[in-house]
């Protein structure tokens, strides 16, 4: 029996279905070709420089205006740093530290937003994350470029006295119409923004990029990296997580798309005392540097969230830290303990981890 020609269809219904499927297939092919053309047409741009006591790098794909947009995003990060930098005497946070309990200090909406979010994570962590830890940071010799103690370790009495100046709840705000003011309740208190300012500044840069039409970008500020969308070819951004004891290799690699990742490590700022590594991350509940953790990496929806949570988990440790992360939507964590044990949440995206 001779087969009927392909163009002869048994009925109009079947013909309509074939035409629909053919049209759908062509639309998909056109979309794929258009996307590929756009991806190939997108140029790569980057902007980098020292900022936030670290090295900041911005990367983006776009048109010939993208370079100017990256310059604007970097300037936005500089602006945020000028507000929050507690080592800059002219910053608003320094004004809060200097005024202490004596007077209210008028602050900008951005400074209020950053400190308010920081208080939220302090509460969530039960005080394990406390941005008023500044006096303890100084007590242990971490308030300078070359950390260390010239004399003996602080006594238990000194630590106890200093801990009286550490309490995130003692930062108060008042609002009069559109004016916001803040005050630390006790003289001698000191805000240290090191555990959240990089994430907050990166978030502001991302918002700037998105507001100016950038849909594929990466902002890296030290241990915090934030992604806008994916690469032009649709693939996620691949982020290497540093090995805490081998800076020439990665512990693992994670894929990011519209997410942020932060790593806190005992290798960032430390010194040796009696042959033991002493990290800059202080447990505000005990007054002592944390020694039980090598590194913590947190994936979260925003930069300030991943930044603050990585410090929170560093202090909390694996059991309490993982318990906290499980309560927070869109968050995952990987922890390396002092003895090299690797612990991570069930939703951690990359199970290939080489320690």
Say if residue 3's pLDDT is above 70: no
Are the C-beta atoms of residues 65 and 141 closer than 8 Å to each other?
Answer: no
Are the C-beta atoms of residues 252 and 241 closer than 8 Å to each other?
Answer: yes
- Can you give the pTM of this predicted structure? 0.87
**In whole angstroms, what is the distance from residue 105 CA to residue 98 CA?**
10
Query: Encoding tokens for residue 352?
Result: 């290939």
pLDDT in tens, 206-252: 999 999 999 999 999 999 999 999 999 999 999 999 999 998 999 99
The domain locations on the chain are: 42-84+103-355
Are the C-beta atoms of residues 53 and 252 closer than 8 Å to each other?
Answer: no
Picking from 74, 107, 85, the residue whose alpha carbon sits closest to that of residue 174 is 107
CB atoms within 10 A of CB 85: 21
Q: How many angstroms separate the most distant Cα atoms in the chain?
A: 102
pLDDT in tens, 252-282: 999 999 999 999 999 999 999 888 899 999 9
Query: Encoding tokens for residue 131?
Result: 């941005």
Q: Is CATH 3.10.520.10 correct for 42-84+103-355?
A: yes
- DSSP letters, 204-251, are HHHHHHHHTT--SEEEEETTEEEEES--TTSPPEEEEEEETTEEEEEE
**In whole angstroms, what is the distance from residue 212 CA to residue 231 CA?**
17
Query: Encoding tokens for residue 156?
Result: 């238990």
């Amino acid at each position: 029996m001779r087969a009927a020609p392909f163009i002869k269809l048994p009925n109009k219904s079947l013909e309509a279905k074939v035409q629909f499927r053919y049209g759908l297939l062509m639309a998909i092919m056109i979309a794929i070709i258009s996307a590929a053309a756009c991806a190939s047409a997108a140029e790569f741009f980057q902007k980098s420089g020292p900022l936030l006591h670290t090295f900041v790098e911005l990367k983006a794909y776009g048109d010939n205006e993208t370079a100017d947009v990256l310059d604007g995003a970097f300037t936005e990060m500089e602006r945020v740093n000028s507000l929050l930098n507690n080592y800059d005497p002219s910053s608003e946070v320094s004004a809060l530290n200097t005024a202490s309990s004596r007077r209210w200090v008028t602050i900008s909406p951005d400074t209020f937003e950053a400190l308010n979010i920081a208080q939220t994570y302090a509460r969530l962590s039960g005080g394990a994350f406390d941005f008023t830890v500044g006096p303890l940071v100084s007590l242990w010799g971490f308030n300078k470029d070359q950390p260390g103690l010239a004399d003996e370790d602080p006594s238990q009495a000194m630590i106890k006295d200093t801990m009286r100046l550490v309490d995130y709840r003692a930062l108060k705000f008042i609002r009069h119409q559109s004016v916001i003011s803040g005050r630390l309740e006790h003289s001698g208190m000191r805000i240290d923004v090191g555990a959240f300012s990089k994430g907050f500044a990166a978030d502001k840069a991302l918002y700037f990029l998105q507001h100016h039409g950038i849909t594929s970008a990466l902002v890296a500020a030290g241990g915090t990296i934030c992604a806008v969308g994916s690469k032009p070819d649709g693939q996620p951004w691949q982020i290497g997580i540093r090995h805490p004891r081998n800076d020439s290799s990665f512990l693992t690699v994670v894929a990011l798309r519209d997410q942020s990742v932060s790593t806190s490590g005992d290798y960032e700022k430390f010194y040796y005392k009696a042959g033991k590594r002493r990290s800059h991350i202080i447990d505000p509940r005990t007054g002592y540097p944390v020694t039980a953790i090598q590194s913590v990496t947190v994936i979260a929806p925003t930069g300030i969230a991943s930044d603050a949570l990585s410090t929170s988990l560093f202090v909390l440790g694996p059991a309490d830290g993982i318990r906290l992360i499980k309560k927070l939507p869109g968050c995952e964590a990987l922890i390396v303990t002092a003895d090299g044990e690797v612990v991570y949440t069930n939703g951690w995206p990359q199970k290939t981890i080489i320690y």
